């Protein structure tokens, strides 16, 4: 799947400077925004996370109003699409790791045509596995959707061999963190928990929407440190990301899990938001 | 300092595809090679490390003979320069973290004019500090000079405030690892030790040269786990990288260290290799 639109700093060109710090160091951020029914879903939440990342790394944040307009212009009428936004610190103005402060951020927008999600995955659930790779822990990077994604690349190469659609990853000290491209939620005795992402992992936009909707429905989700024992004790497991919404896990490492009542209830709460013509 | 030569896949162009996985994920490697007296110093060792990284990440390794010829062609007659080589997995052939295996690596060569190193730094030593940022630990990435360098970017922003030229960094579990842009060696009671880099850090080319020369001179260097207490107990501390050779540390967090006899001896062993017309 290749992008059908590619804009670098607003221009319809497909190249960027080989001096860009995004290339040299992964010094930047990204967002993947699902487009459906003529809108960029949860775009305000995506831009809020982007702004948080800019602040954390000392990147000069783009003008969010104008960026949102650019994104809205890319939304195809009624077709599904994914918009990927990359913001880097920009072209290096000197050699070496240290930014000089006079860099001008680079903004890249890519639009990928997308088939609507297969509803069978959300209904029946997916096969998942536990990844071998352990994520490094660094509070300075935790939560942010930054461009240092070699761990995810290596984890996704691992899962080639199995039929699993997603790998669940633990951190170097044994904390359950997330899937390679999703956040994870565990249900036990009607309580829902999701890993606290203070050491690593990405604070997904769909994760925050699911947590918000659960709280509104008087079924708040616990955000806390989770371990292998919590995963093994879970009666229901589900995954979220901006594209997929909620996917139940139906098989994990040979263990069969039936998509259960709590997962179903959260899917029902989420569904109207995924399909709404404007963000709630 | 801007590069005076910039080659992308051998062509004298300054742009690369905005679809490159080096940009999207930091999915690639780099080398920084010092040029002096008409040669690319330790180029064979740089290419050896590059090959190791390619193997570890499943990147299709470039033809090393032809790459070496390209590098040799960039070496300026007698002037000092730095050649930075970036090899990425190449342009994404599909969306998502997982490489499809049909990518073609991208090769970027940059040459930066460089002043010869200030001999005062190697002679008198430098001011260093202990960085606040703790490096994440991931054996899958350890040792390799890959493009995920946000930790180094953030650590180098930290040191802005102090007058230190380099920050020493510990890992999340408290191991001493390296400087932001250098490897570190500690001397105590005539024994020299350097951190084992099985959890994080980069196996520097100058680090390996110093270890090799020390072993040849019957003064082998211990490669082992080192901690804060080892740093505090060190009588001599020195730093290495491909550009600087050996820099003694003369002040660390207010503590004064005199560049000592072991550091001097190793500098003497190294000096002829730094200035030699061909690699030993």
Q: What is the pLDDT of residues B19-31, one digit of tens each?
A: 999 999 999 999 9
- In tens, the pLDDT along A240-277 reads 999 999 999 999 998 999 899 999 999 999 999 998 87
Contacts of A199 in chain B (CB under 8 A): 172
| pLDDT value of residue B159 | 65
Per-residue pLDDT for A278 more than 90? no
Q: Among residues A221, A186, A183, which one has the least CA distance to residue A202?
A: A183
| pLDDT value of residue A252 | 95
Please, which pLDDT band fits residue A78 given cuts at 50, 70 and 90? confident
| pLDDT value of residue A161 | 64
Average pLDDT of the residues in B31-43: 95
| pLDDT value of residue B12 | 96
User: What is the distance in angstroms between the Cα of A22 and the nearest Cα belonging to chain B?
Assistant: 6
Residue A23 main-chain phi, psi, to 5 deg: -75, -45
- Give the number of A-B residue pairs with CB atoms closer than 8 Å: 196
Please, which pLDDT band fits residue A280 given cuts at 50, 70 and 90? low
Average pLDDT of the residues in B5-19: 96
| pLDDT value of residue A42 | 97
Residue A163, sorted as left (phi over 0), alpha (psi -120 to 50) or beta, turns out to be alpha
* Candidates A3, A97, A180; nearest CB to B180: A97
* Candidates B14, B135, B156; nearest CB to A98: B156
Please, which pLDDT band fits residue A149 given cuts at 50, 70 and 90? very high
Please, which pLDDT band fits residue A163 given cuts at 50, 70 and 90? confident
Q: Inspect the interface and report whether the beta carbons of A16 and B15 lie closer than 8 Å.
A: yes
Please, which pLDDT band fits residue B78 given cuts at 50, 70 and 90? confident
User: Chain A: residue nearest B138 by CA?
Assistant: A136
| pLDDT value of residue B25 | 98
As a whole number of angstroms, the distance between CA B164 and CA B129 comes to 6
- Residue to mutate among B3, B29, B138, with most A CBs inside 10 A, is B138
The H or E element that residue B270 is part of is helix B261-275
Average pLDDT of the residues in A204-220: 98
Q: Residue A153: helix, strand or coil by DSSP?
A: helix
| pLDDT value of residue A152 | 98
Torsion of CA B20, B30, A18, B138, to 10 degrees: 50
Q: Inspect the interface and report whether the beta carbons of B156 and A57 lie closer than 8 Å.
A: no
Q: Inspect the interface and report whether the beta carbons of A150 and B151 lie closer than 8 Å.
A: no
| pLDDT value of residue B277 | 74
CB A88 within 8 A of CB A176: no
User: What is the distance in angstroms between the Cα of A152 and the nearest Cα belonging to chain B?
Assistant: 6
Per-residue pLDDT for A120 more than 70? yes
Task: State the first-to-last Cα distance of chain B, in angstroms, to the nearest integer.
Answer: 30
Q: Inspect the interface and report whether the beta carbons of B16 and A19 lie closer than 8 Å.
A: no
CB A259 within 8 A of CB A124: yes
| pLDDT value of residue B77 | 87
User: What is the distance in angstroms between the Cα of B16 and the nearest Cα belonging to chain A?
Assistant: 5
- Residue to mutate among B14, B115, B140, B174, with most A CBs inside 10 A, is B140
Name the H helices within chain A. 21-25, 43-57, 64-74, 119-124, 150-158, 205-216, 228-233, 261-275
User: Chain A: residue nearest B107 by CA?
Assistant: A18
Angle, CA of B41, B42 and B46, to the nearest 5°? 120
The ipTM value here is 0.97
- In tens, the pLDDT along A221-238 reads 999 999 999 999 999 999
User: What is the distance in angstroms between the Cα of A167 and the nearest Cα belonging to chain B?
Assistant: 12
């Amino acid at each position: 799947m290749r992008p059908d639109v590619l804009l670098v700093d607003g221009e319809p060109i497909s190249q960027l400077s080989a001096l860009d710090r995004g290339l040299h160091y992964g010094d930047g951020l990204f967002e993947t925004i699902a487009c459906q029914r003529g809108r960029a879903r949860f775009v305000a939440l995506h831009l809020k996370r982007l702004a948080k990342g800019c602040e954390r790394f000392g990147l000069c944040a783009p003008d969010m109003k104008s960026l949102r307009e650019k994104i809205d212009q890319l939304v195809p009428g009624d077709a599904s699409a994914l918009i990927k936004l990359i913001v880097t610190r920009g072209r290096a103005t000197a050699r070496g790791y240290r930014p000089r402060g006079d860099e001008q951020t680079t903004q890249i927008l890519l639009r990928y045509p997308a088939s609507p999600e297969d509803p069978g995955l959300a209904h029946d659930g997916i096969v998942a596995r536990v990844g071998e790779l352990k994520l490094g822990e660094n509070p300075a990077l935790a939560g942010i959707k930054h461009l240092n994604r070699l761990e995810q690349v290596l984890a996704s190469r691992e899962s080639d061999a199995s039929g699993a659609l997603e790998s669940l990853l633990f951190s170097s000290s044994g904390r359950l963190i997330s899937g390679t491209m999703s956040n994870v939620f565990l249900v036990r005795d009607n309580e829902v928990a999701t890993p606290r992402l203070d050491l690593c992992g990405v604070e997904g936009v769909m994760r925050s929407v699911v947590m918000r909707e659960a709280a509104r429905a008087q079924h708040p989700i616990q955000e806390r440190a989770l371990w292998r024992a919590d995963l093994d004790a879970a009666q229901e497991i589900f995954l979220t990301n901006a594209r997929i919404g909620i996917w139940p896990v139906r098989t994990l490492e040979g263990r069969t899990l039936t998509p259960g009542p709590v997962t179903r209830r959260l899917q029902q709460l989420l569904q109207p938001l995924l399909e709404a013509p404007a963000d709630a």
